[in-house]
Amino acid sequence: MKELKLMKGNEAIAEAAIRCGMDGYFGYPITPQSEVLEYLMAEEPYKRRTGMAVLQAESEVASINMVYGGAASGKMVMTSSSSPGFSLMQEGMSYIAGAELPCLVVNVQRGGPGLGTIQPSQADYFQATKGGGNGDYKVIVLAPASVQEMADFVQLGIDLAFKYRNPALILSDGVIGQMMEKVELAEQKERLTDEQVAERCPWALTGKKPHRGHNIITSLDLDSSRQEKFNEKLQAKYREIEKNEVRFEEISCEDADYIAIAFGSSARLCQKAIDLCRAEGIKLGLLRPITLYPFPYAPIEKLAQRVKGFLVVELNAGQMIEDVNLAVKGKVQVEHFGRMGGIIPTPDEIVAALKTKILGGK
Amino acid sequence: MSENFDRPEIRKPENLIYSRTKVLTDNIMHYCPGCGHGTAHRILAEVIDEMGIQNDTIGVAPVGCSVLAYNYLDVDMAEAAHGRAPALATAIKRLNPNKFVFTYQGDGDLAAIGTGETIHACNRGEKIVIIFINNGIYGMTGGQMAPTTLEGMKTATCPYGRDISIMGNPLKMTELVSHLKGTYYVTRQSVQTPASVRKTKAALRKAFEYQKDGKGACFVEIVSSCNSGWKMTPVQANKWMEENMFPFYELGDIKVDGELVK
Ligand SMILES: Cc1ncc(C[n+]2csc(CCOP(=O)(O)OP(=O)(O)O)c2C)c(N)n1
Ligand code: SF4
């Protein structure tokens, strides 16, 4: 049964995981996402609900490698962490991408570098969208802007992960993770049986079968020409993802002269900034990338043909702006406004930035 | 000898005393002649075969000379990052409790970069078999010092011999994990003679039987030679191992049925 609840973003992730029939969660505490593991441990889905395994690992290195193992056996598995922990997972992410395994990873970002701060940030954009670990690989990146999307993207993320046999990442931040909102929770799904898993994932480690040779999960090939062929296959998959999976939202863009581009919590702030601007007669719109990889280059390029300027708003020093610039190709002015170190700007600051950086000169 | 193979009156099932197990593939092993890995693979495969669990076994071999073990062992297998096999195996076993799950790890892998994963998987009592090949050196990367390298032993990164005052002490990982509550069976064996091969095979069998009964982590160390890394002939290497490795890494069971026996 669907259910309406007031929940924290992190709790919504955990509840959605149980409801979508996730087989396993492996994680390590870190602020501001510890509620995911705490919620799951309190729910005890392994005893009281679906039989989903939940384990507090000894480190994020272990968590992501547990995810690797679980995914290798065809199960639906996930982990969550925050920035320093997500950094520790990069080797595992690279192996999982290289072994073409589906899994869901959540990064509820905090400020860096290093131990940084426990306050919200979006400074892991590069790490999430441009690699993070070694080698040429891509991770499907979803950026929720509400508690509802925290819940919804668990199902979406794991579906995309299985569709492409590729890790999917929910790139959230401390605001969305900690804030409480109304959320409509999906109906409880049954977990797949071992037989269903073997059928769904003929490549997985489910025990050698009479009709197939032994399955091998590896990212290793010492033969360079075969390794290059494999890389070409990966790249072809990424082109396919770029063709099919771009998701974005446009708010008040139809008549806009200026466009803010922002994801996650920044997009929420920009929504308020639109109201403030429009009250003053400034026609501001918002394009919110929902998938950060694949990035919505085409819709931004289209907007660049008719608007006067873009303001990229991020909780970082300017990361997504590089992708926006790739889309706009110098056609109109692109400026950045960001706060760092865990500071969240007010909508007024965004309006002021628009005025000084883009409107001011004219 | 080949003439005998052509004589059908001799090639009868009742005359068969030994044959290669079907759990080993036909692939030619890349291991150096004299290396212990090949023998360890064979007896592991034989145990899986004799227990009739080939279709229910999932193995994990991480980085190290045995990273390609999946080419030789005809069971479903994953290659893991350096040191991480026990983490993979933890999840595989917990999500597939009816499968037999083992890791096959070198000493650099298990006792250096993967120490954390090893200790915690053992301490949680994961119902897996950990096979630990201790050759006192990093074979795959060309013979550098391992955590298990003996005092005074020369390697590429301690060319004048391991100096304890600078490089620390050789690590007895097996004794260490035997003190963890989660381990059920801990033993140290070797594969350099027919008798030792038989003993090790029995130990592996025991470990897998324990897993069948849902007991805790079973840890089988195999002290093994890396004649290439040690820069010796296979015969010299076995002799050197017996004279130098065994006095420090004493063979035999350390923990049986969850009780320390040493
Ligand atoms: C993260 C990482 N660091 C270093 C290496 C390089 N490396 C590969 S195998 C190995 C050591 C292998 O030694 P051991 O585990 O003892 O196995 P052996 O080859 O002796 O069987 C090292 C350091 C790697 N592959 N990954
Ligand atoms: S380098 Fe050493 S461990 Fe590796 S295959 Fe050769 S003898 Fe065996």
Q: B114-146, pLDDT tens digit by residue? A: 999 999 999 999 999 999 999 999 999 999 999
Q: Average pLDDT of chain A?
A: 97
B40 Cα–ligand 2 center, Å: 12
pLDDT number for residue B2: 53
pLDDT number for residue A131: 85
A267 Cα–ligand 2 center, Å: 56
Q: Would you tell me how many other CB atoms lie within 10 Å of the CB of residue A251? A: 17
Instruction: Give me the residue from A69, A99, A210 closest to B91, CB to CB.
Output: A69
Q: What is the dihedral of CA A20, A24, A29, A32, to 10 degrees?
A: -20
Nearest-by-CA chain A residue for B122? A58
The span from the CA of A22 to the CA of A197, in Å, is 12
Q: What is the pLDDT of residues A226-279, one digit of tens each?
A: 999 999 999 999 999 999 999 999 999 999 999 999 999 999 999 999 999 999
Q: Tokens 């071992």: give the residue.
A: A194
Q: What is the dihedral of CA A117, A120, A122, A123, to 10 degrees?
A: 0
CB contacts < 8 A, A to B, total: 126
Half-sphere exposure of B133 (CA within 13 A, CB side): 31
Q: Is B85 helix (H, G, I), strand (E, B) or coil?
A: helix
Residue ranges of chain B with per-residue pLDDT less than 70? 1-5
Q: CATH for A3-196, among 2.60.40.2380, 3.20.20.70, 3.40.50.720, 3.40.50.970? A: 3.40.50.970
Do A10 and A178 meet the contact criterion of CB atoms below 8 Å apart?
A: yes
Instruction: Give me the residue from A24, A73, A219 closest to B79, CB to CB.
Output: A219
**β-strand pairing of B217-223 with B129-134:** parallel
In B21-158, where do the E strands start and end? 57-62, 76-80, 100-106, 129-134, 137-138, 144-145
pLDDT number for residue A362: 47
Q: Would you tell me how many other CB atoms lie within 10 Å of the CB of residue A98? A: 22
Contacts of B75 (CB under 8 A, 6+ apart): A208, A214, B23, B48, B54, B57, B58, B59
pTM: 0.97
Q: What is the ipTM of this complex?
A: 0.96
Q: What is the pLDDT of residues A133-152, one digit of tens each?
A: 999 999 999 999 999 999 99
Hey, of B23, B30, B68, B94, which one would you mutate to test binding to chain A, going by the most A CBs within 10 A of its CB?
B94
> Would you state the CATH architecture of domain B2-260?
3-Layer(aba) Sandwich (3.40)
pLDDT number for residue B8: 81
CA distances from A163 to A55, A173, A240, A241, A250 (A): 26, 26, 11, 10, 26
pLDDT number for residue B4: 56
Region A7-13 average pLDDT: 98
Q: Where are the domains positioned within chain A? A: 3-196, 249-357
pLDDT number for residue B1: 47
For atom 4 of ligand 2, the residue with the nearest CA is B139
pLDDT number for residue A294: 98
Do A172 and A144 meet the contact criterion of CB atoms below 8 Å apart?
A: yes
Under the banding of pLDDT at 50, 70 and 90, the label for residue A84 is very high
Contacts of A38 (CB under 8 A, 6+ apart): A29
Do A105 and A157 meet the contact criterion of CB atoms below 8 Å apart?
A: no
Can you say whether the dihedral through the CA atoms of B94, B86, B249, B262 is positive or negative?
negative
Q: Where are the domains positioned within chain B? A: 2-260
Contacts of B67 in chain A (CB under 8 A): 220
Residues composing chain A: 362
| Chain B residues interacting with chain A (CB cutoff of 8 angstroms) | 54-58, 60, 67-68, 70, 73-81, 84, 87-92, 94-96, 98-99, 116-117, 120
> Would you state the CATH architecture of domain A249-357?
3-Layer(aba) Sandwich (3.40)
In chain B, where do the E strands start and end? 57-62, 76-80, 100-106, 129-134, 137-138, 144-145, 183-190, 217-223, 252-256, 259-260
CA distances from A231 to A204, A236, A245, B219 (A): 20, 9, 21, 37
Q: Tokens 């191992």: give the residue.
A: B241
CATH topology match: A3-196 vs A249-357: yes
